[in-house]
Amino acid sequence: MDGDFRLKHDMPMKWLEAIFTRRRRPNEMIGGGETRTFPNVVKLHLELTEEGQYIPYEKVFKAVPQVRDLTLELPNCDAPSTHHELDTGERLTDVRFANCNSFSGEEVLDFFKTRSKDEEPWFENLQRFEIENCEGLRDSKNEFENLFGDALVWKA
C-alpha cells in the first residue's frame, strides 16, 4: 500500500473532508455534504507535509467563521483564489503563509483585493501579515508592501 501514489496523495484531502464535512449519508461522495462549523475556533493553523494537495479552502474557511489568526503552511499547494469564499476576512487580525512555495503573488494579491469594498479593505483589522519562505510571492513583494503596509512581515 505504501507504493500506491493515488492513495497517499488523496489522504490529506480525505482527512480535511472528514473534519470539515457533515455527511447526510455514510456513502456520500467527497465534496458532498454540509460544512461542519466550528464557531469557537479563533486560531487555525493548516499545515500539510505531503506536497501538492488539493485544499478545499471554501469549506475550511466556511467552517471557522470566527477565525482571527490564520496560518497556511502548504508546500506545493495552490493558493486560495478569487473564486474561494472567505466571509471571515473582517475578523482576521493575523495571517501567516509559510513554505507556500507554489502560491503566486498575483493570485494571492487578487484574493485580498477583490474582497475589498468601497475603498475600504476587507481585511481592515489585519495587524500582521507574515510571509515566510514563499518563493512564488517574492516577485510581488512591493505590491504586498503597498497593500498591507506596516502589517507585512517578510521572512523570505
Reduce the DSSP state of residue 120 to 3 states and report it. strand
| Domain boundaries defined on the chain | 35-155
% of the chain at pLDDT higher than 70: 76
Contact 66, 41 (CB under 8 A): yes
- Cα–Cα distance, 152 to 48 (Å, whole number): 24
Res. 146: pLDDT tops 90: yes
> Which one is predicted more confidently, 24 or 130?
130
DSSP code for 117: B
> Which one is predicted more confidently, 117 or 39?
39
Mean pLDDT over all residues of the chain? Answer: 81
| Number of H-type helices and E-type strands within the chain | 4, 7
Q: Tell me if the pTM is above 0.85.
A: no
Please list, in sequence order, all residues whose beta carbon lies within 8 angstroms of the beta carbon of residue 80, skipping any fewer than 6 positions away. 55, 57, 61, 72, 86, 108, 111
